[in-house]
Chain A
Amino acid sequence: MKSLLPRLGLIATVLFAGLVTASAADSKLVVALLPKSKGNAYFLSCKNGADKAAKELGIELLFDGPTDSNAAKQNEIVENWITLGVDVIAVAAENKEGISTALRKAQKQGIKVITYDADSMPDSRSFFVNQATPQGIGYGLMDEAARLAGGEGEFAMITASLTAANQREWQKYIEARLKEKYPKMKLVAVRPCDDLKDKAQSEATALMSANPNLKLIMAICSPGVPGAAEAVKQAGKTGKVKVVGLGLPNENKRYVHGGVTDSVILWNTEHLGYLTVYAGTALAKGTLKPGAKTFKAGTLGEFQIQGDNILLGTPFIFNRGNIDQFDF
């Protein structure tokens, strides 16, 4: 007991000193970044980019979010930031309508609001940093597929379902790009996998036996990519039938290193965080205004703005050379 008291005193002194120094440094612009959940590796990767941007800009970055994807906690954190008087709030919305009431309140208090990854209601924020347009994804996938196939031959596609809106949208752009630029390539089949890896695997196996000249399988839902890769590997066609698709690095690493899957396409999450912090800061400083057509973000250069969407631009290609730098 006797030795505990001085120790407690020491802790209190350190805490107090921390408080004083912390409030002395308060003159920096404060950008608060809210992920859907803060332990999620996807958002931690966004944070890496955001940290880099904050360092370059000399601003202070707060990063806090629910430990699970909890919409109620997102609202509470935003309300907390409002009373703390941060300058910018950047949000990946777990629930579009739910978060918007809190964001409107922030705007009323003069705080600049921007969304990234998942948008809120348009009237509750100034800009949405859009990580991927359907056109960007569709064209990116088709271009990469054509590159891998050498610009000719048969290929097949695996989708989540034939009715899902986003899948149909992507498929539309993939087919448009195919028609426009790659006349020697032929799409022989489109099969749904119901967002299941097992089903994707059996569909891919069936596709290979029905189409002996198949050169490539393109999976446009994330379970489809490892599913197709497993089928190709088990059929002993590694290298003969190439696999490309839209997915997350971690679930594909094994196949990318094994040479089964050539490329996984998504967006660069670090760039997403970087661009979001740059755009938020510019918004607070008044250098980015509604109606702008382009925006320059540090070392990443210029980005297009469509309406109130800042576009992250062309998708990012994960391959054997870079996939280990990403952990999500």
Chain B
Amino acid sequence: MTNSVKRDWKSVLLSHEMLLLYVLVAEWLFFFFAGTTTNRRGVIVGFGTLDRQFDILRHSCEIGLLALALTPVIITAGIDLSVGSLLGLCAILFGKLWHDGGLSLPLAAFLTLGIGTLAGGLNATLITALRLPPLIVTLGTYSLFRGLAEAITHGAITYTDFPASFLFLGQERWLGLPAQAWLFLLVAVAVWLLMHRTTFGRGFRTIGFSPEGARYAGLPVGRRLALVYMLAGFIAAVAAIIYTARLGQAKADAGTGYELFAITAVVLGGTSIFGGSGSVHGTLLGVAAIAVLKNGLACLPVVMRLNAAEEMSGLLTGALLLLALTGSVLPKMLSTFRAHRHAAQPPSPSPSS
């Protein structure tokens, strides 16, 4: 009994999520010591300031939301490449409804959330009703949504002049945290509960592991998948509104490339790209590890002097992801290797020979 409890502890401490947590803490400590300085005026500046920590939180909310949207999608062995483009389209529509349509901001936001969900529904219909591969469908809508956003604005119009009450959501603090962090937290908790505390959410894993098996087990696979893509569309719309509030502008290029950052965070967080396994807290850790790396690097004097924060963060994020992936398959490979060697050893001599 004691032995098995011990082994459980060991497996928890060595689980992917825990390893990622160690990496995150190590990163954070490194940047805290190396990226905090005192400037000419004697003020403490850099990574170790509360302002910087809040900036990290503010800068990662949109990509964090998209990663939350993608976690269920990827767990069902699907993919959604269109979320970044959908963020752009929703931002533009939100701006247009308010600026040109004369709607109040809450109503415009409400309609935007509806449009986001419908756009997710388009992905869902093509994937479930026509049985097209998600990669191809969302590659199509990736171009379609961005193209629509550019067509609506002729690639030139930018919606600005939002009232301060709306910008509050993206730029001010509420109850001690950046205002949008509360929304992010709300969505994170909701998705976590869905994925980890409902049979409904657990069904997604079954589908990802084996869609045929799930179908035989009586799961309405098509309907569940549709829900996952519509949820992704909805969350992308939430991210669009936060993005608009943070920058005070809605432009057709909003969220360009965000889908790839989000996928990186999800995979780094331990979700299998083939579906069937993964966790929401893993994704959150993945988002945090990337955000801290990116923002921390920009605080290092050496990197600053090279003017290469963006390039360095791209490089190191890639390295981190590859390292994590290698790390996750290594134990399995080692054990198969050992088993193989064990099997290859000559059997003990039989008495007859």
Chain A residues engaging chain B, CB cutoff 8 angstroms: 15-16, 18-19, 22-23, 26-30, 38, 62-64, 66-67, 70-73, 75-77, 79-80, 82-87, 95-98, 100-101, 110
Nearest residue, chain A, Cβ from B45? A85
> A95 to B160, alpha carbons, bound, how many Å?
10
Can you list 5 contacts pairing A with B, beta carbon distance less than 8 Å? A18-B302, A62-B305, A64-B310, A84-B298, A85-B45
Q: Are A76 and B59 in contact (CB under 8 A)?
A: yes
Chain B neighbourhood of A98, CB < 8 A: 158, 160, 247-249, 251
**In the complex, which residues of chain B have a beta carbon less than 8 angstroms from the beta carbon of A64?**
304, 307, 309-310
Interface residues of B, count at CB 8 A: 40
Chain B nearest Cβ from A112, distance in angstroms:
12
| B301 interface hit (Cβ, 8 Å) | yes
Write the B266-305 contact mask toward A (1 if CB under 8 angstroms, else 0): 0000000000000000000000000000010011111011
Taking the closest CB of chain B, its distance from the CB of A253, in whole angstroms, is 28
Q: Name the contact of A71 in the complex, choosing from B47, B249, B295, B307 (C-beta under 8 A).
A: B249
Q: Is the CB of B305 within 8 A of A83?
A: no
Tally A-B pairs: CB < 8 A.
100
Smallest Cβ-Cβ distance to B298: which chain A residue: A80
Nearest CB of chain A from residue B91's CB, rounded to whole Å: 11
Q: Are the CB atoms of B299 and A83 closer together than 8 Å? A: yes
Q: B143: CB under 8 A from chain A?
A: no
Contact B302 A63 (CB under 8 A): no
Cβ contacts under 8 Å, A73 to chain B = 310
A174–chain B nearest beta-carbon distance, Å: 27
Contact A29 B45 (CB under 8 A): no
B27 near A: Cβ within 8 Å?
Answer: no
The verdict on A26 contacting B39 (CB below 8 Å), with A19-B302, A63-B307, A98-B247 known, is: yes
19 more contacts with CB within 8 A, not counting A82-B51, A83-B55, are A26-B40, A28-B40, A30-B40, A62-B305, A63-B307, A64-B304, A66-B310, A67-B310, A75-B246, A80-B55, A83-B46, A85-B39, A87-B40, A95-B251, A98-B160, A98-B249, A98-B251, A101-B167, A101-B171
- Say if the beta carbon of B37 comes within 8 Å of chain A: yes
Contacts of A28 in B (CB 8 A): 40
Q: CB-nearest residue of chain A relative to B305?
A: A22
B150 at the interface (CB under 8 A from A): no
B55–A79 touching, CB < 8 Å: yes
Shortest A270–chain B CB gap in Å is 18
One of A15, A16, A23, A97 near B160 (C-beta < 8 A): A97
| Bound form: Cα–Cα A62–B254 in Å | 26
A85: which B residues are within 8 A, CB to CB?
Answer: 39, 41, 43, 45-46
Given contacts A64-B309, A83-B49, contact A22 B302 (CB under 8 A): yes
Quick check: A26 and B301 within 8 Å, CB to CB?
yes
Whether A71 lies near B40 (C-beta < 8 A) is: no
Q: Is B52 an interface residue (CB 8 A)?
A: yes
- Find chain B residues with CB under 8 A from A76 CB: 59
Partner of B37, one of A15, A23, A29: A23
Residues of chain A within 8 A of B47, CB atoms compared: 83
Which B residues lie within 8 Å of A18 (CB)?
A: 301-302
A84 contact from B45, B160, B246, B254, Cβ within 8 A:
B45
Distance between A146 CB and nearest chain B CB, rounded to angstroms: 36
Most interface-central of A19, A62, A87 (chain B CB within 10 A): A19
Q: Annotate B26-53 by CB proximity to A: 1 below 8 A, 0 otherwise.
A: 0000000010011111010111010110
Q: Who on chain B is nearest to A32 by CB?
A: B304
Please tell me if the beta carbons of A97 and B248 are within 8 angstroms of each other in the complex: yes
With the chains together, A79 CA to B46 CA distance in Å? 11
State which of A38, A70, A83 has its C-beta within 8 Å of the C-beta of B52.
A83
Does B160 contact A80, Cβ atoms closer than 8 Å?
Answer: no
Q: CA of A27 to CA of B40 in the docked complex: distance in angstroms?
A: 5
Interface check B100, CB cutoff 8 A: no
Chain A residues near B309: list those with CB within 8 A: 64, 80
The answer, among A26, A27, A29, A62, for a CB contact under 8 Å with B307, is A62
Structural contact, B247 and A72, CB atoms closer than 8 A: yes
- A134 → chain B, closest Cβ, in Å? 22
> Closest 6 CB pairs between A and B?
A85-B45, A22-B301, A97-B160, A85-B39, A98-B249, A83-B52
CB distance from A100 to the nearest CB of B (A): 8
- Give bound CA distance, A84 to B295, whole Å: 11
Contact A84 B299 (CB under 8 A): yes
CB A15 to nearest CB in B, in angstroms, measures 7
Per-residue CB contact flags for chain B residues 161-176 toward chain A (1 = under 8 Å, else 0) read 1000001000100000
- Asked if residues A19 and B247 are in contact (CB atoms below 8 Å), the reply is no
Q: Which residue of A lies closest to B43 (CB)?
A: A85
Q: How far is the CA of A29 from the CA of B46 in the complex (A)?
A: 16
Q: Which residues of B contact A27 (CB under 8 A)?
A: 40
Chain B 106-149 interface residues, beta-carbon cutoff 8 Å to A: none
A30: B residues at CB distance < 8 A: 39-40
A64 to B34: give the CA distance in the assembly, Å: 20
Instruction: Determine how close the nearest CB of chain A comes to the CB of B244; give it in whole angstroms.
Output: 10
Whose C-beta in chain B lies nearest to the C-beta of A75? Answer: B247
Chain B: minimal CB distance from A109 (Å): 9
When distances are taken between beta carbons in the complex, the residues of chain B under 8 Å from A62 are: 304-305, 307
| Chain B nearest Cβ from A236, distance in angstroms | 40
